[in-house]
Amino acid sequence: MLYPIMNHARTAISLDGVWRFRALRQLEVTEQDTLRWNGSYDTMAVPGSYNDQKEDEALRDHYGLVLYQRDVSIPKSLSRERVVLRFGSVTHHAAVYWNGKLIARHRGGFLPFEAEIDPQDMEKNHVLTVSVDNRIDLSTLPVGSDNPGGIFGSALPDIPGVQRKKQNYPNFDFFNYAGIARPVLLYSTPKDYIQDIRLRYTVEGGDAVVQYDIETSEESSACRVELLDEGGNRIAEAEGRQGALNVPGVRLWQPLDAYLYTLRVQYGDDEYEEPFGIRTVEVKGTQFLINGRPFYFKGYGKHEDSEFRGRGLDNVLNIKDIALMKWQGANSFRTSHYPYSEEMMRLCDREGIVVIDEVPAVGVNLNFGSAQGREPVDTFARIQTHEHHREVIRDLIQRDKNHACVVMWSIGNESDTATFPESAVSYYKPLYELAHEQDPQNRPVTLVGLQGRYGNEPALLMMDVICLNRYYGWYVYGGDLDAAKQALKVEMDYWATTGKPVMFTEYGADTVAGLRLATSVMFTEEYQVDYYKANHEVLDELPFFIGEQAWNFADFATSQGINRVEGNKKGLFTRDRRPKLAAHYFRQRWHTIPDFEYKN
Ligand code: BDP
């Protein structure tokens, strides 16, 4: 799906702003709801999660449906064009009504979807209503738990007669923000238009060949492509929907040194410009090569999370986060635990930030958190995410396939790979293969592993890179960093035997900013530094270890529970982006670790 752009063939009109809003008690939308509201209504900003925009506990913890509505009129000048309504994301499930008529439904909260406006319907004023459903369960991604309380719920049974409030129980550790989180717009194209662009390339010596593949709505006109350098100079051109363009003396996209070419496509009256970088990615032995050189990941797992906006797109915050990453000497992050906005992906292309791109498959594990200690269940026999999981892999790769910043796909986080190892293989093998099939650039694919019973996780061994979330010194041997180091070393001796590249996609310690002690204990800023130093003592010695991504870039909101002090506090930065002591420690460390050839 192409990102909406504006040029002389295409228009894009933002529908962001303040919308009418209603939280529904019932779980159905009536016809009346989808027509222009006469009675009272609330207000809500778009884009933004709705949960924290008001002072209302019921809305923050709302379960079920809400409605958004606004008036829309389409400029007359677009009457001959194809007009499309496009949502960057609606979390988690959306139904879209145009003057009361259902025109789109979408499942999943982190990927874009669109609906064409019927030309008959273009004149006059219109009412656009969107119903948003935040319910999560065993069939959704992310997964909702069937244990009251979710991952941090009580292990004790409920007391008979006590009524809990109706609520979602996330099987994951972040707040279940909902709403219209990313931009909404109307865009236009000519009636016969460019649908998609797929790019791959080969690099040899100093030259590259870009292979392009253009999909158009019909095949009635000629297709012409031009390749422009960053200065806008044409360096190659070709005719046809498929073809190859030579780029002699190519300037590669490098981590922290981005260079973007533009593919300009002309098809009939339509025109589209796709910025893209040229770089290669390959796993070779225990190395992760970018442009042929062994890369070392320095960075974080992140969240789309901020005060008031929840998960709503905030370009200022994105710019700031990347500035902080560069200040710290980082080069990468993972889009834990769902696809991030298209705006962020484009920014990472521009800024040279390396991204591990993750689907929203988090909580595909019915044996952790509050379920621990009970009779283990076969997650994959009970969970109903199979088809949707395929869908999000397809749609994510479809959306992000041309981004140079994306160097690896993550098809899930901390799934249940150890309890019934063969079930996990049956579930993940087709998904691993699907990701490879769908990607024109055939990037490496991973599945992020949970700490626990390593050694019998064939689903992880199928992956191109072993990505581990490990908490030695926090959840395991918390407060005993010597034991933590020993245990980490023992585990790493095992991974050394697999012959795979290994990296940490999470490791961290909850740290309350401002808690300081000369002799550190858990939760102090000093302990967070000591924790990371202890881990690094072991990791720095391992030749097959290809990267460290701290958990988390910044503190973030979670459900309430006894394990969380107003959210998860493992950030190197606070939620408002103030550095903790560990942020300075990493700044020192990362500026001395090169992006390439660190372990050789
Ligand atoms: C891991 C999860 C992550 C959590 C983190 C933690 O992948 O979402 O926030 O641990 O406990 O299990 O802080």
Domain-located, residue 554: yes
Residue 302 and residue 157 share a domain: no
Q: Is the CB of 389 under 6 A from ligand 1?
A: no
* Residue where the block lists tokens 């034991």: 483
Contact 300, 551 (CB under 8 A): yes
φ/ψ of 550, rounded to 5, equals: -70, 150
Residue 178 and residue 55 share a domain: yes
pLDDT band at 489 (very low <50, low <70, confident <90, very high): very high
Smallest CA separation from ligand 1 atom 5, residue = 173
Domain-located, residue 343: yes
Indicate the number of domains in the chain. 3
The tens digit of pLDDT for each residue in 112-123 reads 999 999 877 677
Domain-located, residue 281: no
Contact 352, 290 (CB under 8 A): no
Smallest CA separation from ligand 1 atom 9, residue = 173
Domain-located, residue 440: yes
- Give the type of residue at 297: F
Residue 323 and residue 210 share a domain: no
Q: Is the CB of 570 under 6 A from ligand 1?
A: yes
Going from the Cα of 173 to the center of ligand 1, the distance in angstroms, rounded, reads 6
Q: Which two tokens stand for residue 355?
A: 């991204």
Domain-located, residue 286: no
Residue 313 and residue 213 share a domain: no
Q: How far is CA 386 from CA 93, 424, 445, in A?
A: 17, 12, 18
Residue 132 and residue 39 share a domain: yes
Smallest CA separation from ligand 1 atom 1, residue = 469
pTM: 0.98
Domain boundary among 247, 276, 305: 276
Smallest CA separation from ligand 1 atom 6, residue = 173
Percent of the chain with pLDDT over 90: 92
Residue 153 and residue 227 share a domain: no
pLDDT band at 156 (very low <50, low <70, confident <90, very high): confident
Q: Residue 39: its pLDDT value, please?
A: 86
Q: How far is CA 151 from the centre of its chain?
A: 21
Residue 202 and residue 184 share a domain: no
Q: Determine the Cα–Cα distance for residues 50 and 478; give it in Å rounded to an integer.
A: 36
In a 3-state reduction of DSSP, which class is residue 260? coil
Residue 512 and residue 579 share a domain: yes
CATH of the domain at 344: 3.20.20.80
Question: Which sequence positions are flagged as catalytic?
Answer: 414, 506
Q: What is the mean pLDDT of residues 467-481?
A: 98
Going from the Cα of 412 to the center of ligand 1, the distance in angstroms, rounded, reads 13
Which residue range(s) make up the domain with 203?
194-276
Contact 553, 571 (CB under 8 A): yes
pLDDT higher than 80, residue 372: no
Residue 580 and residue 473 share a domain: yes
Domain-located, residue 1: no
Residue 255 and residue 143 share a domain: no
Q: Where are the beta strands (DSSP E) in 182-292?
A: 184-189, 194-204, 207-216, 223-228, 234-239, 242-247, 261-267, 270-276, 281-284, 287-290
- Average pLDDT along the chain: 96
The tens digit of pLDDT for each residue in 286-337 reads 999 999 999 999 999 999 999 999 999 999 999 999 999 999 999 999 999 9
Q: Is the CB of 569 under 6 A from ligand 1?
A: no
Q: Cβ neighbours of residue 205 under 8 Å, at least 6 residues apart?
A: none
Q: Residue 303: its pLDDT value, please?
A: 98
Q: Dump the DSSP string for 509-571.
A: --B-TT---SS--TBSHHHHHHHHHHHHHHHTT-TTEEEEEEE-SB-B----BTTBSSSB---
DSSP category for residue 117: P
Q: Determine the Cα–Cα distance for residues 512 and 569; give it in Å rounded to an integer.
A: 6
Residue 297 and residue 223 share a domain: no
Q: At what angle do helices 342-351 and 315-328 cross, to 10 degrees?
A: 30
The tens digit of pLDDT for each residue in 206-248 reads 999 999 999 999 998 899 999 999 999 999 999 999 999 999 9
**Which of 333, 551, 563, 569 has the most ligand 1 atoms within 8 A of CB, as the residue to mutate?**
551
Q: Residue 251: its pLDDT value, please?
A: 98
